[in-house]
Amino acid sequence: MTSLGKDVPIPLYYQIKARLLESIENGQLKPGDRVLSERELTTQFGVSRMTARQALTELESQGYLYRVQGKGTFVATPKIEQPLAGLTSFTEDMRRRGLEPGAKVLAAEEVAAGRKVARALGCGETAPVVRLERLRLAGGDPMALEISHVPASVVPGLLERGPVVHSLYRILETEFGIRLVRAIQSLEAVPANAYEAEMLHVREGTPLLLLERISRDSQERPIEFVRSLYRGDRYRFTTELIRREDAP
């Protein structure tokens, strides 16, 4: 790696970070490869230990590197690229990537909708809804924390049929004849709180991607309101943008 520019207004740690990132992105450093340690970076670039540490810590919290106690810092597997175009289920998304989907049910209960859910589902605030909180797994690793709300009236008996450890969308289709056809979804960044961090195996404060989705069936009925927190260090969402013919 070339030496750092000491006369440029770019912090040294940031320059080291950029060098490492470049090596990862152009394939010189591959998933599983060990990267230079703090001490090695210090010698190579003539920077302080703190500067070297900051570069590694940021790359780690952004999901490019991971540390193994006593062994060193290694290049992580690339993030999961998730197109935002189709209305797909978690199970379908993971299978398409050859990963084994899973779910750990953290809560499954019938509750009153409350203001936010009522607004999303177009029901009364006291209307009963099924609240399903699940940790979604891919190959056993936690990927997202999902809280779904479905009007109890459209899924009678859902809670009695056992924990929803497989696909909710499949159950909706096969057991309740509900096919989701359309959804409105928003995406924003939020820091992981202590509980979310523990569940998702990230540090508190790590950026998560919060997706909120309201899905409807062919009769335009709102069926599901979900808040999904995806690991920002494992996911990258992509969209296709098409320039309209009449764009100014």
82 binds ligand 16G (CB under 6 A): no
| Binding-site member from 211, 214, 223, 229 for ligand 16G (CB under 6 A) | 211
- Binding region for ligand 16G (CB under 6 A) out of 7-15, 84-92, 107-115, 151-159: 84-92
Closer by beta carbon to ligand 16G, 206 or else 228? 228
Are 206 and 64 in contact by the 8 Å Cβ rule? The answer is: no
Closer by beta carbon to ligand 16G, 3 or else 218? 218
Nearest alpha-carbon partner for 134 in 178, 167, 111: 167
> Across-strand partners of 180?
217
User: d(Cα 39, Cα 68) in Å, to the nearest integer?
Assistant: 16
Closer by beta carbon to ligand 16G, 64 or else 225? 225
Taking the CA atoms of the chain, what radius of gyration do you get in angstroms? 22
Stated as kind and residue range, the H or E segment containing 96 is helix 90-96
- Binding region for ligand 16G (CB under 6 A) out of 14-22, 107-115, 162-170, 237-245: 162-170
| Binding-site member from 24, 118, 143, 226 for ligand 16G (CB under 6 A) | 226
Q: Minimum CB separation from ligand 16G for residue 236, in Å? A: 15
Distances (CA, A) of 106 to 17, 26, 124, 135, 228: 38, 40, 26, 7, 14
| Binding-site member from 169, 200, 206, 229 for ligand 16G (CB under 6 A) | 169
Helices (H), 99-220: 114-121, 168-176, 194-200
217 binds ligand 16G (CB under 6 A): no
Per CB under 6 A, which of residues 89..118 are in contact with ligand 16G? Answer: 89-91
Closer by beta carbon to ligand 16G, 23 or else 89? 89
DSSP strands (E only) in 39-154: 65-68, 72-75, 80-83, 101-112, 128-138, 141-151
Residue 114 neighbours by CB distance under 10 Å: 14
167 binds ligand 16G (CB under 6 A): yes
13 binds ligand 16G (CB under 6 A): no
47 binds ligand 16G (CB under 6 A): no
64 binds ligand 16G (CB under 6 A): no
Are 145 and 199 in contact by the 8 Å Cβ rule? The answer is: yes
Q: Minimum CB separation from ligand 16G for residue 241, in Å? A: 19
> Which chain residues interact with ligand 16G by CB under 6 A?
89-91, 146, 148, 167-170, 211, 213, 224, 226, 228
